Structure formats: structure tokens, C-alpha cells
Amino acid sequence: MRPLFLVVLILLASGCATSLSGFQPAHVAPKGHVAAEFGWDVSAPVGTIVRSIDAAKTLARAANNRSLTDAERRQLIAAGADVAIDPPALVTHAGLTYAPFTAWELGLRWSPGSWRGAVRHQFLDQAAHGVDLSAGVGLARFTYEFPINDIIGDVLHLDDFTRWNLDIPLVVGKHSDWYRLWGGPRIMFSRFDSALTLHLPATGATPAEVVAASVEGNATFLGGQGGFALGYRYLFVGVELTIVQLISSAHLELAGQRQDVELGGLVIYPGIALMGEF
């Protein structure tokens, strides 16, 4: 079972960090105009996630010398699920929005393996209310195709790792020709799943066997974010900090046995981007 167990860990740890940044000022561009951003974020999970990863390293080394207990296997699986949901990572992203109507915005954003579509409306304008305030909704899909299928597909098949994210951007702030200032709560809901099938050939007295495993779960990111950008009129350099609490549960089925794990921890997510409005 050791090779199968290690394959399940690959399945669990296949995720890429969720893009938590926004890099959107509180105001919407004027009707007929576009806004764009390109930058990098650092996903830095702390607390329980880091402790899970450290424990997983220790147990992985132990697995080379002895059989793990059921409790140790559960701990290693939980650590793998932690990494799948939000691993330490450097995330590149690029976004483009267009304002087809006054105070309304449509947006598309890319990060590795992921596309996000969104709509946003500006409810308050600083010229009339003293501050800008906008809110919207975004839907993103992340998918990862395992290259291992092309190498050993006859023995092992891994389904794509898929994650759906629903986020609710709510941002308040101010702006001028030379700066943008924004902040607000960060709320995101995530759903992920994947599966594998292992075909074990017959060896001696051991008959052939087909073993299936799957993982699915939910994650909620709750916290806040704030940022500012400096520049002039059309082009700005912005920095943003997001801090969220991750609350998640994952369900693993391996060879007919089900295991449920509760996950969580604090995620600190700084980023920098080049921002434009044209």
C-alpha cells in the first residue's frame, strides 16, 4: 500500500494557491473605459497549515523506514489536503475590466490554471458621497491536468484536480489623479475535487486489483484586504495585503474507506501589481 499511499498524497497536494488578491480600486472606470492589472502575489499560510506541512515532512521520512500507523496516515493525509487548498506559492495574475454602462463593470482575470469572470457595481461616488463604494460577484475555475497520465496511464490514471471559487468583492476607498486607496472584507467560497484509479497487475499468487481513491472538499476564506497605488492619471504601481482565516473540510475515499478531515489556518497574502486605467 505504500506506493498507493504516496500517489494519494500527490493527488492531495496537486493544488495551486488560490488567488486572493483583488487589485481593484473602489471606483469603476468611466463608461466605455477599461482598467487592467498585472502582478504577483505571495501566498504565505501560517499557524496550523505550517505545522501540518512540518509534520508531513517528518512522517514522510519515517515512511521510508517503517509502516505508518493509521493515526499517522490520517495526519499525513490532512497535511496533503492543507497543501492542496492553499500551498505556499508565488502567484502571477493578469486582469482586464470594461465598463459597458455607467457604474457597471465586467471583468476577466487569469492566473496559472485559472480563469475568473466577474461583475461589479459602484454604489457610492466620492464626488457625491465623499467615498467610493463598490460590490460585485466573481466566479473562477482552476484545473490542473496531471502529466503523469501520459507516462504511466495504463497503470495509474489521475483525474484533473478541479476547484471552483465564488468570491464577493466589497471595496470602499478614494482616488485622484495620483493615488488610489481601497480596502474591505475578503470573502471567498471554494469547492475542490479529484480522483485516481490504480490498476495493480497480478504478481505470483496475488490477483490483479483495481483501487480507486477520490478527494473532495469545501473551503471558506474570511478576512480583509487593503491596498494603495501611486502613479499619475493612467498608470499606477499598487501594493495590497490580504489576511484571511481558512476554514475547510475534506473527504477522502481510499480503497472503499472514507476519512473526513477538518482543516484551517491563517493565510497572509501580500502582492504587488502594475495597474492602468484607459
Which pLDDT tens digit goes with each residue over 222-267? Answer: 999 999 999 998 999 999 999 999 888 877 776 667 777 777 778 8
Return the pLDDT at 75.
Answer: 65
Average pLDDT over residues 73-95: 71
* Residue 241 phi, psi (nearest 5): -130, 125
Query: Measured between alpha carbons, how far is residue 252 from residues 33, 60, 197, 257 in Å?
Result: 47, 19, 14, 8
Question: Which of 262, 258, 271 has its CA nearest to residue 228?
Answer: 271
Q: Indicate whether 113 pLDDT > 60.
A: yes
Question: Which of 275, 269, 272, 276 has its CA nearest to residue 45?
Answer: 269
Question: What's the grid cell of residue 213?
Answer: 481513491
Q: Indicate the residue type of 30.
A: P
User: pLDDT: is 205 or 131 the higher one?
Assistant: 131
Question: What's the grid cell of residue 39?
Answer: 502582478
Cα 82 to Cα 219: distance, rounded to the nearest angstrom? 10
Q: Are 240 and 22 a contacting pair, CB within 8 Å?
A: yes
Pairing of strands 235-254, 161-167: unpaired
Top mean pLDDT of 26-40, 139-153, 203-217 is at 26-40
Pairing of strands 235-254, 156-158: unpaired
pLDDT bracket for residue 175 (50, 70, 90): very high
Question: Which of 161, 197, 196, 220 has its CA nearest to residue 13?
Answer: 161
Return the pLDDT at 60.
Answer: 60
Report the chain's mean pLDDT, rounded to a whole number. Answer: 82
Question: Which of 81, 95, 84 has its CA nearest to residue 21?
Answer: 95
